[in-house]
Amino acid sequence: GAGVSQSPSNKVTEKGKDVELRCDPISGHTALYWYRQSLGQGLEFLIYFQGNSAPDKSGLPSDRFSAERTGGSVSTLTIQRTQQEDSAVYLCASSLKPDHEQYFGPGTRLTVT
Amino acid sequence: AQSVTQLDSHVSVSEGTPVLLRCNYSSSYSPSLFWYVQHPNKGLQLLLKYTSAATLVKGINGFEAEFKKSETSFHLTKPSAHMSDAAEYFCVVSEYGGSQGNLIFGKGTKLSVKP
């Protein structure tokens, strides 16, 4: 079946612009996770959804970052007023339930110029 | 707080020789530990996981890892490297112990395999 998909695969934006990154989890997966992979920080957890609720937002680096999930499916990660340090690969993962294996998407490479 | 330390940022081996990727963890709970692999331009894939059953865990592609509580280690091994094993490997601990929950990743070890 289809895996986790993310769009766009690559995004180049100017500093100060807003961007939206999309994640389509595996159908039926209730848990959804966002991570960020950057050269300086490695792979970091950002936010976790169970259904449409986000019980853990502890990893969001600043209030410029927000995320939502609708219909228990698609999730959007929004970064407002992008900064150069936001440049990274943003990874999405989903799992059937929170304590099940996470399946990762291919990521969105964000470059802020 | 949970954390993992991957002791080598880069490991280079010759094809057909053993692979050892080292990982030490810190955990307040009985930890759940994982190894993930990331091939260039591909997504992360779970290699194997330890969740307090057998201490020697077998994964895909001939990899295995041994949980050693006394040494707080979870090293990844493979008897004979293949060219296709060249990738980046991440040692991971679950933030909530018994469940996968939010994953905390090590910095990664890049494995090179020479012909």
Using DSSP bridges, classify how beta strands B19-21 and B64-68 pair: parallel, antiparallel or unpaired: unpaired
> Which site among A43, A60, A90, A103 would you substitute to test the B interface, given the most B Cβ atoms closer than 10 Å to its Cβ?
A43
- Number of CB pairs < 8 Å for A and B? 48
Task: Return phi, psi of residue A33, to 5°.
Answer: -130, 145
DSSP letters of chain A? ----EEE-SEEEE-TT--EEEEEEPPTT--EEEEEEEETTTEEEEEEEEETTEEEE-TT--STTEEEEE-TTS-EEEEE-S--GGG-EEEEEEEESSTTS--EE---EEEEE-
pLDDT number for residue B101: 62
Chain B residue nearest residue A93, CA to CA: B44
**Out of A37-46, A104-113, B65-74, least confident range:** A37-46
Residue B96's pLDDT band, with cuts at 50, 70 and 90, is low
> What pLDDT sits at residue B15?
97
Chain B, window 49-78: residues with a beta carbon less than 8 angstroms from a chain A beta carbon: 49
Residue A105 sits at the chain B interface (C-beta within 8 Å): yes
Selected for mutation to probe chain A from B103, B104, B109 (highest A CB count within 10 Å) is: B103
pLDDT recorded at residue B113? 97
Q: What is the mean pLDDT of chain B?
A: 89
- Top pLDDT among A49 and B40 is at A49
pLDDT tens-digit map of A26-85: 999 999 999 999 987 788 989 989 889 887 788 899 999 999 999 889 999 999 999 999
The least confident of B36-50, B63-77, B88-102 is: B88-102
Say whether pLDDT at B99 is over 80: no
Q: Which residue of B has its CA nearest to A50?
A: B101
Q: Do B102 and A48 touch (CB under 8 A)?
A: yes
Q: Which of A107, A96, A103 is nearest to A38 (CA)?
A: A107
**pLDDT recorded at residue A17:** 98
Which residue does chain A place closest to B90, by CA atoms?
Answer: A43
pLDDT in tens, A66-82: 999 998 899 999 999 99
| Whole-number pLDDT of residue B98 | 43
- Is A95 part of the contact surface with chain B (CB cutoff 8 Å)? yes
